[in-house]
Amino acid sequence: MVEIQLEELGSDEFSEYTKTYLLNQRLDLSEEEAVVIHPYKVKYARELVLTIAEILSLGLFKLFLLWFPQYRASWTSQPCGIDDIEYVEVIDQKGNSSIEKVYKRSFKETIPTSNAQLPVLKSIPCFNYKSLKLYLNVVTVEWVMLSSEAHAFQLYASQLNYFNWGLNTQTVSNLRQTYGQNLLKLEEKSIMRILIHEVLHPFYIFQLFSIVLWLLDNFFFYSCCIFMISLCSIYFAIKESKDSDARVHSIIGESDTFTVIRDKRKKQVCGDELVTGDLICLTNDERKTCPVDGLVLSGSCLVDESMLTGESVPANKYALEELSLDSFIKNAFNVFSSHVLHAGTKFLQVNSTLEMPCYVITIRTGFSSRRGKLIRDLLYPKMRVSQLYKDSMSFLKLMIIFSLFSVFFLSLYLFKYNAPFSHIIIRSLDVITILIPPALPATLSIGIANAVYRLSQGCIFTSNPECISTAGNIDTFVFDKTGTITEENVQLSHSYVKDTQNNLEVAQNAHQFSMSKTLISNISTCCQSLQIVDGNIIGDPLELALFNYFNGRFINSFEFNVRPRDALFTVMNGKDGQEIAYSVTRSLEFDPVLRRMSVIAVGNNKKTPMLFSKGAPESILDICSSRTIPNNLYHLLEILSFKGFRILACAWKPLKSETDLQQISRGSLERDLVFEGLLVFESKIKKESRNVMNVLNKANMHIAVCSGDSLWTSVYVARQSGVFGSSLFVYVEDSEEKYELIRSTDDEVKFKLYNVKEDCYLSTAKHTTFDYILSDENSAIAITGGLLRKITESFGEEKLRSIIKKTKVLARMSPSEKSKYVELCRVFQSNVGFCGDGANDCLALRRSDVSVSLSDTEACAAASFISQKKSVLDIIAIMLEGRCSIVTSYRCFQYMVMSAIIQFSGTILLYLRNYNYNDSQFLFMDLAIVFPLSAAMSHFAPSDIITSNAPSSTLFKKPSLFLLGLLSGVVLSSQWLLDVLLVKLDSTSLPTWQAGKSNTENALVSCSFLLTCLQYVGVNLIINRKSEFLSPIWKNKLYVSSSIIIGVVCLFICFLNNQHWVSKVLHIVSLPISYRFIIVLLGTIPFLVVYLFL
Q: Residue 18 and residue 503: Cα distance in Å, rounded?
A: 72
For residue 78, which phi and psi values (nearest 5 degrees)? -150, 155
Q: Residue 526 and residue 572: Cα distance in Å, rounded?
A: 9
In this predicted structure, which of 87-96, 298-307, 743-752, 803-812 has the lowest mean pLDDT? Answer: 743-752
Question: For 350, how many CA atoms within 13 A lie in the half-sphere containing its CB?
Answer: 24
Residue scoring higher pLDDT (146 or 611): 611
Q: Is residue 899 scored above 50 in pLDDT?
A: yes
In this predicted structure, which of 137-141, 793-797, 1021-1025 has the lowest mean pLDDT? Answer: 137-141
H or E element, residue 574: strand 569-575
Among 21-35, 236-250, 469-483, 1047-1061, the range of highest mean pLDDT: 1047-1061
Average pLDDT over residues 308-316: 67
Taking Cα atoms as reference points, which of 248, 235, 194, 250 lies closest to residue 381?
Answer: 248
Q: Residue 1017 and residue 974: Cα distance in Å, rounded?
A: 14
pLDDT for res 457: 87
Q: Which of 391, 430, 480, 874 is catalytic?
A: 480
H or E element, residue 48: helix 44-56
**pLDDT over 70, % of the chain:** 88
- Tell me the CA distances in angstroms from 523 to 497, 573, 650, 675, one per residue in order: 13, 11, 7, 12
Cβ-based neighbour number of residue 1025 at 10 Å: 12
For residue 299, which phi and psi values (nearest 5 degrees)? 75, -165
Residue scoring higher pLDDT (365 or 576): 365
Specify the CATH number for 475-487+686-848; select among 3.40.50.2000, 1.10.357.10, 3.40.50.1000, 1.10.3720.10.
3.40.50.1000
pLDDT for res 838: 65
Taking Cα atoms as reference points, which of 387, 394, 390, 395 lies closest to residue 965?
Answer: 395
Bridge-based pairing state of the strands 850-853 and 865-867: parallel
Q: Is residue 525 scored above 50 in pLDDT?
A: yes
| Beta bridge mates, 293 | 364
Taking Cα atoms as reference points, which of 278, 293, 286 lies closest to residue 344?
Answer: 293
Indicate whether this model's pTM tops 0.85: no
Residue scoring higher pLDDT (65 or 1048): 1048
Q: Is residue 465 scored above 50 in pLDDT?
A: yes
pLDDT digits (tens, 9 = 90+) for 162-215: 888 888 888 888 888 888 888 877 667 777 777 776 666 677 777 788 888 888
Taking Cα atoms as reference points, which of 649, 657, 709 lies closest to residue 673?
Answer: 649
- Tell me the CA distances in angstroms from 593 to 483, 590, 597, 816, one per residue in order: 21, 9, 11, 11
Q: Residue 313 and residue 542: Cα distance in Å, rounded?
A: 11
In this predicted structure, which of 536-545, 573-582, 602-611, 1028-1037 has the lowest mean pLDDT? Answer: 573-582
In this predicted structure, which of 620-634, 828-842, 898-912, 1070-1084 has the lowest mean pLDDT? Answer: 828-842
- Tell me the CA distances in angstroms from 154 to 160, 171, 294, 334, 343, one per residue in order: 12, 12, 15, 19, 21
pLDDT for res 577: 47
Cβ-based neighbour number of residue 992 at 10 Å: 7
pLDDT for res 1081: 93
Q: Is residue 13 scored above 60 in pLDDT?
A: no
Kindly indicate whether the domain formed by 387-460+879-1093 is annotated with CATH number 1.10.10.10. Answer: no
pLDDT for res 739: 40
Task: Tell me if 776 sits within 8 A of 750, measured CB to CB.
Answer: no
Edge-to-edge strand list for the sheet holding 293-298 = 265-270, 257-262, 279-282, 358-364, 293-298, 340-341
Contacts 24+ apart (CB under 8 A), 762-767: 762/729, 764/731
> What's the CATH code, domain 491-682?
3.40.1110.10
| Beta bridge mates, 1012 | none
**pLDDT over 90, % of the chain:** 10
Our answer to whether residue 480 is catalytic in this structure is: yes
By residue count, the chain amounts to 1094
| Beta bridge mates, 705 | 479, 809
Q: What is the DSSP string of 344-381?
A: T-EEEEEE--SSS-EEEEEEE-GGGSHHHHHHHHHHS-
Kindly indicate whether the domain formed by 257-379 is annotated with CATH number 2.70.150.10. Answer: yes
Q: Residue 82 and residue 139: Cα distance in Å, rounded?
A: 11
19 pLDDT band, cuts 50/70/90, is: very low
pLDDT for res 263: 87
Q: Is residue 304 scored above 70 in pLDDT?
A: yes
Bridge-based pairing state of the strands 117-118 and 124-129: unpaired
pLDDT for res 995: 67
pLDDT for res 444: 65
Cβ-based neighbour number of residue 5 at 10 Å: 11
Taking Cα atoms as reference points, which of 638, 787, 809 lies closest to residue 722?
Answer: 809
686 pLDDT band, cuts 50/70/90, is: confident
Rg over alpha carbons for the chain, rounded to the nearest Å, is 36
pLDDT for res 1023: 92
Q: Is residue 338 scored above 50 in pLDDT?
A: yes
Question: CA 998, 1002, 1007, 1010: dihedral to nearest 10 degrees?
Answer: 70
20 pLDDT band, cuts 50/70/90, is: very low
Spatial neighbors of 55 by CB under 8 A, at least 6 apart, are none
pLDDT for res 137: 80
Query: H helices within 253-323, ranges in order?
Result: 306-309
Q: What is the DSSP string of 931-983?
A: HHHHHHHTTPPBPSS--S----S-S--HHHHHHHHHHHHHHHHHHHHHHHHHH
Identity at 284, one-letter amino acid code? N
pLDDT digits (tens, 9 = 90+) for 76-132: 877 777 777 888 888 887 777 888 888 888 777 777 776 666 666 667 888 888 888
766 pLDDT band, cuts 50/70/90, is: low
- Tell me the CA distances in angstroms from 633 to 30, 648, 733, 800, one per residue in order: 46, 13, 20, 35
pLDDT for res 313: 67
Q: How is residue 1034 annotated by DSSP?
A: G
Q: Residue 450 and residue 616: Cα distance in Å, rounded?
A: 47
| Beta bridge mates, 674 | 652
3-state secondary structure of 619: helix
Strands (E), 683-728: 702-706
Q: Is residue 453 scored above 60 in pLDDT?
A: yes
Average pLDDT over residues 843-860: 73
Spatial neighbors of 337 by CB under 8 A, at least 6 apart, are 331
Q: Is residue 900 scored above 60 in pLDDT?
A: yes
Mean pLDDT, all residues of the chain: 81
In this predicted structure, which of 31-45, 116-130, 253-267 has the lowest mean pLDDT? Answer: 116-130
H or E element, residue 919: helix 919-923
pLDDT for res 613: 94
pLDDT for res 93: 76
Bridge-based pairing state of the strands 265-270 and 300-304: unpaired
